[in-house]
Structure 1
Amino acid sequence: MRIGVNYVPSQHWYYCWLDWDATSIARDLDAVAALEVDHIRIQCIWPWFQPNPAWVSPVMLDRLEQLLDLAGERDLQVCVTVLNGWLSGFDFRPAWLLDTATETQRNIFTDPWVIAAQQHLLAAVCERTADHPALWGYDVGNEPNVLTAWNPADEATLDAWCTAMVATISEHAPRAHVVIGVDQRPWINDEPSPSPELLASTGSMAAVHAWPWFSGALTRFGEQGSLRVADFLVQVALASQPDGVRPVWVQELGVAPEWVSDPTGYAGDLLAATVATPSVEGITWWCSHDVDRRFSAFANLEYELGLLTVGNELKPIGKVFAELAEQVRSGGTTAPEPRRAALVLPPDRIPDLDVMAVWLQQPEPMALVRAERRHDAAYLAGRGIEQLVALPAG
């Protein structure tokens, strides 16, 4: 199991691309490496990397390459998240999305001209970094489904967009891992999103963002029940696959101090529950560093999500994380038990929090199986499932 952090630069947040300070980033990565992690996930900002649809900034590509150099020197592998129009509550829209002839915003999921520009950016990033020894892989974009709020698109269109973006990366970086880092909504809500089937089966693995608060699990189930939010999302992703055996990456997992009574203890329990989930390829905590309070306009919770302070001091929550990371890397954690029983999802039933409530009430941890697969003996045998439990009506 991989274990890592979403890197948030301590001194300049991701404004660092504009105000580059390799020395402070090197200090940050020294502190990150000391957490016993093996990888980081980083965020490019779309309008800064591609200020014009026909031009990708060579300065930004140079800085990206230097960041990979610095990570590699510390034995950290890197997932590069490329098409970031959304990050930490902020909307990053390239100015050229405005169609000056009509005074309207071009739709990033449906406009062929914009899609071609996006593919140009992906290709440029891949061509510069695909052979870098520190590269783990690419994430198409951070929670791109959020952007449907101002770029309306139906499921089929979003599936086609995801397929095209993954294909572009695979063409230019055929040996790299590729994922689509959506938030929790495509898995457990009926909102405009790529389909769970597409997300679970396209690219190298499915990626889930398992936030206890944003998912609604913490409000619905309290601190104890919400500890298994990543487990539930992983089971949804596995049930959405054709065979149910591809690994899943818990790409974002984290807790804000304002959400729970004991953030450090809760974080340790949340991590332990996630490590104990079968089929997890990796866990990537959000995030490495707090956000410096000299920057205004962030939501209050964003300022204290880090394992480290802006001065690279280890926080109590960072100590708990580092201890678990060391156990994972040294093989000191027990391998998760495979799930022999599964809760059956009726046709067209969304695996929402109502389903999670029933799933949590089961006497043993369970997988999920869609109803159309319940009589498929080869499928069930491939997943090791021996017992099926019906979901109560209603």
Structure 2
Amino acid sequence: MTASRAPRFGVNYTPTRGWFHHWLDFDLDEVRADLDSVADLGMDHVRVFPLWPVFQPNRTLIRTRAVEQLVQLVDAARERGLDVAVDGLQGHLSSFDFQPAWTLSWHRRNLFTDPDVTTAQARLLQTLARALAERPNFLGMTVGNEINQFSGAPHPDPDLIAPAQAEEWLRRMLRACEEGAPGRLHLHAEYDAAWYQDGHPFTPAQAARLGAVTAVHSWVFNGTAQRYGATGTATTHHAAYLIELSKAWARDPHRPVWLQEVGAPAPCVPAEGAADFATATVAGALDCEDVWGVTWWCSHDVDRALADFPDLEYSLGLLTNDRRPKPAGRAIARAIEQYRDKPPAPAPRHTALVLDAGPDEDGGPQRAACAPGGAFFEAFARLTADGARPAVVLARQAQDRAQLAARGITELVAVRDVH
């Protein structure tokens, strides 16, 4: 059984005034008020998003004032007992792309392979990390928010790359973060195409092996809630499923996994069911071993005065736009109190579902089976509904007794045998 450790609880910080455009009119008093309301929920960290075009509007210009404002935000968080994780390349947020002009139209070039672009990206990541390296509440850098969505369909204008190029880019960006702030929690984070989409250049192996922890983003508007219902086992255990799926590719049997994004998107999860969904999702995630923490999306609702967001984006906050806790926020606050008073100590998952990912398991060529509606996804959900608490192993791992023993796995189940 895993030693008890209080999990980290945090939020992805969405400013109440101006959303992420607040960097254009940075108001430290407003930030402080936002962070007060976050701390009042019992959170211990926030994840923040410097907008790439605001911080690096020209390839050779990183705005000193913007970096200073990021440092001020981190210092304000420290005053409220909050640690801070910083995403470097934004990248993509809530359906909007944020690329600097020097990568677009007349200056169009590949975000992942153009040497001028990648040099500038590495410089920005290193600069942000170095600016925060001495702050005791700085957790580390995430390379970028779901930046893999630029690398292929369904993006309307993708920067196409191969898996080897994706890995080379990730290694370089992570190295830049480490050079800026040695020893911090530096990682990368993709949306679920990395786990679910055949042929996607960002792979499960990269997610589970590069960086200090594995990040998973668990969104049930990806077909999960639509297919299985808001209260279905597959929906309320989607986060746990992604956590366990990620472990199949990890070389370290106890590599930490960070549930870095999870939320209750309406109408896939009706507003009246958001609190129950939050409670069930957190409980399911913390019934997995080696979970670093849970970071909810997001802190505050988006101001409806702002135009053109998909409707679900406006209501994802744990707090209203005027900083009042919502039912889901109160549910998360109760979970924080519960798990800090009695940290979870999940037993090993003795039963493992065997995933045949094809001959190139590291490349994940048969990922569609893992997606909602896929045979592997449905077998995992059925086992979970039956109380089996399944783990996941790749077919080749099924022969590795040492690896199975390290994870406490004593029984293997084939997908075809799950009814």
Instruction: Select the residue among 14, 35, 54 that pairs with 2:60.
Output: 54
Question: Which range moved further: 60-69 or 310-319?
Answer: 310-319
* C-alpha contact 2:274 2:327 (8 A) present in aligned 1: no
In the alignment, what sits opposite 1:289? 300
In the alignment, what sits opposite 2:350? 340
In structure 2, the residue corresponding to 1:177 is in which secondary structure? coil
**Once the two structures are superposed, what CA deviation does each residue of 1:33-62 show, in whole Å capped at 9, x if it has no partner?**
011111110111111100111110001101
Instruction: Select the residue among 384, 405, 410 that pairs with 1:381.
Output: 405
Instruction: Select the residue among 283, 307, 311 that pairs with 2:318.
Output: 307
Aligned counterparts, 1:197-208, within 5 A: 197-208=205-216
**Any stretches of 5+ residues in structure 2 without a counterpart?**
1-6, 359-365
Aligned counterparts, 1:118-133, within 5 A: 118-133=121-136
In the alignment, what sits opposite 2:236? 227
In the alignment, what sits opposite 2:178? 170
The Cα RMSD (Å) is 1.6
Mapped pair 1:321 → 2:342: no
* Aligned equivalents of 2:236, 2:199: Cα separation in 1: 24
Q: In structure 1, give the amino acid aligned to 2:350.
A: R
1:104 deviates by 5.5
What TM-score, normalized by structure 1, do the two folds share?
Answer: 0.95
In the alignment, what sits opposite 1:115? 118
Aligned counterparts, 1:46-125, within 5 A: 46-98=52-104, 103=106, 105-125=108-128
In the alignment, what sits opposite 2:248? 239
Q: In structure 1, give the amino acid aligned to 2:381.
A: L
Structure 1 stretches of at least 4 aligned residues deviating more than 4 Å after TM superposition: none
What TM-score, normalized by structure 2, do the two folds share?
Answer: 0.90
Mapped pair 1:158 → 2:161: no
In structure 1, the residue corresponding to 2:135 is in which secondary structure? coil
**Once the two structures are superposed, what CA deviation does each residue of 1:146-174 show, in whole Å capped at 9, x if it has no partner?**
11132111111111111110111112211
Q: Structure 1 residues 188, 318: CA separation in 2 closer, same or farther (over 3 Å shift)?
A: same
* Aligned equivalents of 1:321, 1:88: Cα separation in 2: 22
**Any stretches of 5+ residues in structure 1 without a counterpart?**
none
Instruction: Select the residue among 251, 263, 268 that pairs with 2:260.
Output: 251
In the alignment, what sits opposite 2:391? 367
* Aligned equivalents of 1:293, 1:279: Cα separation in 2: 38
1:274 deviates by 1.9
In the alignment, what sits opposite 1:260? 269
1:347 deviates by 4.1
* Aligned equivalents of 1:235, 1:334: Cα separation in 2: 16
Aligned-residue sequence identity (percent) comes to: 38
In the alignment, what sits opposite 1:179? 187
In structure 2, the residue corresponding to 1:290 is in which secondary structure? coil
* C-alpha contact 1:153 1:192 (8 A) present in aligned 2: no
1:236 deviates by 1.4
Q: In structure 1, give the amino acid aligned to 2:143.
A: V
In structure 2, the residue corresponding to 1:82 is in which secondary structure? strand
1:191 deviates by 4.2
In structure 2, the residue corresponding to 1:170 is in which secondary structure? helix
1:278 deviates by 2.2
* Aligned equivalents of 1:162, 1:203: Cα separation in 2: 9
* C-alpha contact 2:220 2:265 (8 A) present in aligned 1: no
* Aligned equivalents of 1:260, 1:164: Cα separation in 2: 38
* Aligned equivalents of 1:385, 1:393: Cα separation in 2: 18
Q: Structure 1 residues 316, 138: CA separation in 2 closer, same or farther (over 3 Å shift)?
A: same
Question: Which range moved further: 55-64 or 183-192?
Answer: 183-192
In the alignment, what sits opposite 2:203? 195
**Once the two structures are superposed, what CA deviation does each residue of 1:343-362 show, in whole Å capped at 9, x if it has no partner?**
11124142333211011112
Mapped pair 1:24 → 2:30: yes
* C-alpha contact 2:11 2:47 (8 A) present in aligned 1: yes
In the alignment, what sits opposite 2:219? 211
**Once the two structures are superposed, what CA deviation does each residue of 1:79-127 show, in whole Å capped at 9, x if it has no partner?**
000111211110111111147xxx3510011101100010111111111
**Once the two structures are superposed, what CA deviation does each residue of 1:183-237 show, in whole Å capped at 9, x if it has no partner?**
11101221423121111111111000011112x2112222222111111111111
